[in-house]
Amino acid sequence: MQSHGYSASAFDVLRYRSGAKVSTADHLAVECPIAFEFNGISHAVMLATPSDLIDFAFGFSLSEGLIDRPEEIFDIEVRPAETGIILEITVTSRCFDRLKQRRRSLMGRTGCGLCGIEALDALGIRPEPIKEKRSFSRQHILAAVRRLPAVQPLQAQTGSTHAAAWLSASGDIVHVREDVGRHNALDKLIGAVSKADLSFSDGALVVTSRASIEIIQKAATLGIGYVAAISAPTSMAVELARTCGITLLGFLRGQDYVVYAREQDLIE
C-alpha cells in the first residue's frame, strides 16, 4: 500500500491592509478529484484534499457500507492521474458482489456528500439503531472542542478546511483528520480509527462544521453514539439522530451548547 498526498499550495497574491498593497504568498487548501475504483470498477469521484488517502479509502468504504471490516480490503494503490488521483482498492469477492448490486455513479462536492444520486429512494438513510453505547462526559466534549484549533495545522495554514476528531472515553483527542469537505474529513477519520482497531462505541465524534444528514448517517452506520458539531444541525440530521439513538450536540461555544437528541446519555 502506498500512502502519500499533499494538502496546501502557495499562490502569489496581492494583500491589501489599511490601504497598503503588499505582494506576498498565500497558502490555499488543495482540492482535486479523488476517484474510487474497486476491483478495477469505477465507483465514485469525490472532490477532496489529497492527503491521508489510505485513511480516506478505508473510511469511505466503511461508511458507505461497501465493506464491514478493514480486513476486507486486500490492497490500496494511490495512482496519480492527469486530472486527479485514483484510489485502486482491492476488496473481497463478497464485498465486490455487494458493490455491484448497489453500484451508483455520484460526483462528490465539498458541500454535499449525496450529489449525483439519481433518486431519493437511493439515499438508503435507514441505519440500524445504536446497540452499544457508554455514557460520555459533556465536559470532555467541551474541553476537546477548545483544544481542536491547536491540532488543525491545515486550517491554521489555509483557513478553509474542516476537521473531524475522535475522542476517547477519557476525553483525549486520539485522531484528527482535515479536508475541504466535512464528510471527507469524517471518512478519513473513520479510516484512521478503524485501522487503529478502536471501538466506535467507546468514543465521541467532534466535527468543525454543521451536523448534516450525511454526518449522522455515517455515524449511525459505524455505531458512533455521540456527535458534537461546532455549528448547527439540519432537521434531517436531528430526526435521524433521534431515530438511531445518537446523542447530538450543536453550537458548541465555550461552555455553551445545544442538545438536540438524547441528553440522558451525557454525564457531568
Among all residues, which ones are annotated catalytic? Answer: 112
Any residues with CB less than 8 A from the CB of 87 and at least 6 apart, and which?
34, 35, 36, 37, 53, 56, 57, 76, 77, 78, 79
Amino acid at 115: C
Long-range contacts of the stretch 175-179 (C-beta < 8 A, 24+): 176/148, 176/151, 176/152, 177/52, 177/55, 178/7, 178/49, 178/51, 178/152, 178/153, 178/154, 179/48, 179/49, 179/51
Whether the CB-CB separation of 227 and 137 falls below 8 Å is answered with: no
Whether the Cβ atoms of residue 265 and residue 225 lie closer than 8 Å to each other: yes
